[in-house]
Amino acid sequence: MTAVGTTRVRPAALLLPGLLGALGLLALVSALSVAVGAKSIPPQVLADALLHYRPDDADHLVIHTLRLPRTAVGLLVGAALGVAGAVMQGLTRNALADPGLLGINAGAALLLVIGISVFGITGLTGYVWFGFAGAAITALIVYGIGALGRDRATPVKLALSGAAVSAALASVTTAIVLTDSDAFDRMRLWQVGSLAGRDAALAGQALPFLIVGAIVAIPCGRLLNALALGDDVARALGQRIGAARAIGALCVVVLCGTATALAGPVAFVGLTVPHVARMLTGPDYRWILPYSAVLAPTLLLAADVLGRVVARPGEIQVGIVTAVIGAPVFVALVRRRDLAEL
């Protein structure tokens, strides 16, 4: 276990400029996300569209109805996955923790399929509510199972209960999909993970959930620092372990559930980015969380831009690109000795 105080903590005088630099990089990638696509738009046209929008201009319409909402969704989803991944890894003290660990992807997928197959949900607006509900319900079930017994919800028990519940839900999802071709077609498009086709209304609907998740995540830095020292030490420091894990779990459910419903189960963003943030900041979660919130959307938008460039005039879905980028990076990260434990 790597705890605050047992490894070198970088001073805030260095971390704050680094965070500002990461924000500058995020702004650059966001600008590229708006400017780059199947249709080439000159920079002067882009500036004119942002400052003097004309709905009768085709280029202006593309920027305002397609690229700006897509970029906004990428920012929201990336930040949510980054923070949720960092909280999840600190909460479970598991370097491989991701939305699949607590069954969030499986729960969102099952409720989504039920919404399509039983209730006839056809729009992305409906997907958000079903995906979020599925993630929340599943996380509660996993936590409830993990809390059974004398030791309550230990990291190992949470991981095991999450794996078991995920397998069970995946089986039910497969059974429904195989008997409903319409659900199969829509589930296939959502399951890949994509930012395409998301509009401003959808981002606005998800924003309140993500704000709540961010507010819940604010106090998690100190809580995760205490948990990193071990449950016994955390209790000695006055932390209420059960309450700390409940707060962290709520944050993960809200952020990951909403992000998964918005863009599908995008792989490796919430898994890899917190490790990169930890390499830059040291073990202090008060810095890991904001760094993850900035680096994750940077990675997600960069992957989305890359997917649009390499397959013009079509595109490769962002979930595929993040898997291609994230898999070798994560393999390299986990081979580092200092990432063997958190």
Q: Any idea where the domains of the chain sit in the sequence?
A: 12-339
pLDDT at 8: 57
Q: Who's near 230: CB < 8 A, 6+ residues apart?
A: 1, 3
For the cut 70, the answer to whether the pLDDT of residue 274 exceeds it is yes
Residue 3 pLDDT class (50, 70, 90 cuts): very low
pLDDT at 298: 97
For the cut 50, the answer to whether the pLDDT of residue 301 exceeds it is yes
How much helix, strand and coil, in percent to the nearest 5, is found in the chain? Answer: 75, 0, 25
pLDDT in tens, 81-130: 999 999 988 887 777 777 776 778 788 888 888 888 888 877 666 777 88
Instruction: Give the separation between CA 146 and CA 154, rounded to whole angstroms.
Output: 7
The answer to whether the beta carbons of residues 72 and 200 sit under 8 Å apart is yes
Which pTM was predicted? 0.85
Distances (CA, A) of 241 to 83, 237, 283: 20, 11, 19
Instruction: Give the separation between CA 103 and CA 159, rounded to whole angstroms.
Output: 9
The size of the chain, in residues, is 342
CATH class of 12-339: mainly alpha
The answer to whether the beta carbons of residues 143 and 128 sit under 8 Å apart is no
Q: Which residue has the tokens 């831009």?
A: 305
Instruction: Give the separation between CA 243 and CA 335, rounded to whole angstroms.
Output: 33
How many CA atoms, within 13 angstroms, populate the side-chain half-sphere of residue 248?
Answer: 30
Residue 64 per-residue DSSP state: I
The angle subtended at Cα 22 by Cα 21 and Cα 26, nearest 5°, is 120
Sign for the CA dihedral angle at 87, 88, 92, 93 comes to negative
pLDDT at 336: 64
For the cut 80, the answer to whether the pLDDT of residue 134 exceeds it is yes
